[in-house]
Structures are given as C-alpha cells and as structure tokens.
A = this chain, B = another copy of it.
Amino acid sequence: MPKQTFFNLPEKKRQTLLNAAEKEFSRVPLYEASVANIIKESGIPRGSFYQYFDDKEDLYYYLLNRYTVKMKELLLQSLQKQDGDLLGAFGDFFAKVIYQQTNERNVKFLKNAFLHVAQKMELSFSRIFLDKSHPRFEDILDYVDSSRLNIRDEKDLHHIIQIITAVIFRNFVEKYANNLTNEEAAARFHKDLQLLKDGLYKEK
C-alpha cells in the first residue's frame, strides 16, 4: 500500500501522479513499465516517488485495486438486477464490463493487466490441449469420447476444453500458491470436476 504521505498530498498533485501512472501502465505491462517514465510524465522527483510507494508494484496494485472495487460494485448491481441468479448475474456483469470500457486508456490498462498475466503462460498451457502443431502427438481431441458430452458440434467441444483448462489451471495455482497437500489438491479438483459434470444448477 502507498504510504500515508501519499494520501496527505494535495489532491491535484496526487491526481497528476496517478494519471501518469495509469498512462504508463496502459502503455506497457507491469514489468516493462518504468518508474522513470512515471516521474518524468508527472514531474515528481525520483526521491519523492519512493517516499510515497515501496516500488512500482506498490503503485500498480493500488491502481488495480481501484479497478476491482469498481468491478465489485458492478457485480453487485448485476446480482440484484438478476434476483440472485448467479450465472445470470455473471453474464450481465461480463457484458457490462466490456461494453462500459469506452475510455481507451482504461481498455489498455485492463488489457495489460489480463494479458501480462495470462498471455504467455496460460496460453502456452492450454496449447497442450488444442494446438495441433504441438510435437509428437496427434490431435488429442481425437481421443475424447464426445458421445458422453453435452455438445452439438466441435465448437462446443472447444468451449468445454477451454472451461476445463481454466479450472485445472486455477487448481494448479491454488495447489502451489497455498502449498496444498497432494490429497487436498486432488480432492478439491475432483469436486470441481463433479460440479462441471453435473452442472452448477439443479436440474429443472
């Protein structure tokens, strides 16, 4: 978190700084962004910057957090609008976020946030399952028994693979982030698979 000193700053100076930061983080992802650019843009001396923030990341996650707070607000609205229907609310929420981002800078900021994270790593990971150019194996989809799946065409199958990839990925993250035992991690993932299989909603 930014230091108290930062919050004591006159409104205008603080805004100038945040503005310059948002500009820089919209230009490039976190690890390519530089404090040098932010202070040049905002005219803040280098020493002052480090008076306010521990480092680049400190400022970045402060900004990101402001975005997520707004998102939470949107999700809540969606939930109320949809009378507590969870998936309906998420659908509404997703649309709201993407349609509402008309400010180019916001779009780029979010783009960098989502991409930096995922582009290289998760995409490389999901390529395991979908990329036909991956060496040594025929397309893995040939081995899937589609007859048991709730799908109409190949496109649906891709959706299913995407969903499972996202979920298994998150399970790996959780296991490693929280140092779960193998048993605990396997149990959690099994539960997720069960829910995916049967559906998140009760049968009508």
Contacts and interface: CB of A to CB of B under 8 A. Distances in A.
Contact of A164 (B90, B123, B136, B193): B90
Contacts of A76: 137, 140, 143
A79 interface: yes
Determine chain A's interface SS by DSSP, over half rule. Answer: helix
A7 interface: no
Contacts of A104: none
A10 interface: no
Interface residues of A, number: 94
Interface string A148-177: 111000001001101111111111110111
Contacts of A128: 68, 71-72, 75
Copies of this chain in its oligomeric complex: 2
B144 A79 contact: yes
A196 interface: yes
A11 interface: no
A82 B23 CA distance: 51
Contacts of A148: 85-86, 201-202
A41 interface: no
Contact of A136 (B69, B159, B169): B69
Interface in A87-146: 87, 89-91, 93-95, 97-99, 107, 110-111, 113-125, 127-129, 134-137, 140, 143-145
A197 interface: yes
A99 B57 CA distance: 34
Given A94-B168, A114-B121, A165-B170, 10 more contacts: A64-B121, A73-B137, A86-B149, A89-B144, A91-B190, A98-B185, A118-B173, A122-B170, A156-B195, A159-B191
